[in-house]
Amino acid sequence: MKCLGSSWLMLLSHNDPRLSWHGHVSLERTASYTRPWRIPFAERTLFPPELLVPAATQAGVRLAFVSETRRLAGRVLPGGGSQKIDLCINGEVVGTADLGGQESFAFHDLPAGEKRFELWLPHRGDFALQSLEIDDDASLRQARDDRPRWVTYGSSITHCGEAASPTETWPAIVARDRNLNLQCLGYGGQCHLDFEMARLMRDRPADFISLCVGINIYGNGSLNARSFPASLIGFIRTLREKHPTTPLLVMSPIFSFDRETKANSVGWTLQNYRASVEENVAKLRDFGDANLHYLNGLQIFDETFGHLMPDRLHPNAEGYRIMGRNFLCHAAPILGM
């Protein structure tokens, strides 16, 4: 127990087995903290070095448990920048804690009775949990997540660093609306159809899979007219090795100002990448993949929303809300969510 002012609280270690982690790929555990990763931590050296920083952020990752506690506090390793934690109780957002470089957070005056806690961890910046504190007389047990699993892969526009809080990313908006167990594999700047990512996704349980590809590949010129179609086909067919009939949606890039018609370092425009995604999904469908689907990213976010892209690349917080609503309208029915 720990005395906090005039109240006694139960101190929980970061590795308490009654705490459930969801939406991660692996956990980095030390004597003093637990850090969720969105790639296998033990195999991180097999991934491109540039991928490691975004993979160590917790977009879509949740920490859950069931308890009657009326108070919840936690300690974390100090991080930088604006980091927010959303607390959901029985599926409803009841509060947001802004770490702001602080080493602790707290929620008070929570509803009475047994309830399911779900902490949506910061979608940007570094986060590692050291401990939690709850009322000393409260029970504590694991919270399972048996909802249908949705795995989504993409760039910073799936990572959503500009979203207002962790539950306000567009994948979180969709998952919460459709009551899905989300695994967000959006990595800022690092969506290049890497083979290790295809293997990782192939080996993850999934009831729905979606990809949003093209913007990072355009920006880095990492794949050209020869290599992009082959990489996209190879990525999808790798997923199909263990998910042969899982509903799989491939979305082309959303609107992106001058990139639409300006050729990159390998001579392709964003329109070229968009057309290639559509063409090669159609090829695979012609070979019998009836549960593979294409969606034009402009249906999710087109030039009419350009005023919501302050840096002319990323939607702002309102832009991500619009993406979430449009994905629910146009993509979720295709996937059968």
330, with CB counted inside 10 A (0-12, 13-18, 19+), is middle
pLDDT, mean of residues 151-176: 98
Q: Among 301, 300, 303, 280, which residue's Cα sits nearest to residue 292?
A: 280
Kindly report the backbone phi and psi dihedral angles of residue 74, in degrees, each rounded to the nearest multiple of 5, phi listed first: -155, 155
User: Quick one: which of 144, 250, 148, 156 has its CA closest to 205?
Assistant: 148
Average pLDDT over residues 318-329: 98
Domains and CATH numbers, the chain: 2-141 (2.60.120.260), 149-335 (3.40.50.1110)
Mean pLDDT for 121-137 is: 94
Q: Tell me, what's the pLDDT at 3?
A: 40
> Comparing 76-90, 135-149, 171-185, 303-317, which segment has the lowest mean pLDDT?
76-90
Closest CA to 62 of 39, 86, 90, 82: 86
| Structure tokens given for 55 | 């993979």
Q: What is the mean pLDDT of residues 15-31?
A: 98
Nearest to 88 by CA among 146, 135, 186, 22: 22
**What is residue 215's predicted lDDT score, i.e. its pLDDT?**
98
Burial of 296 (0-12, 13-18, 19+ CB in 10 A): middle
Confidence of residue 2 (pLDDT cuts 50, 70, 90): very low
Rounded to the nearest 5°, which phi and psi values hold at 20? -110, 130
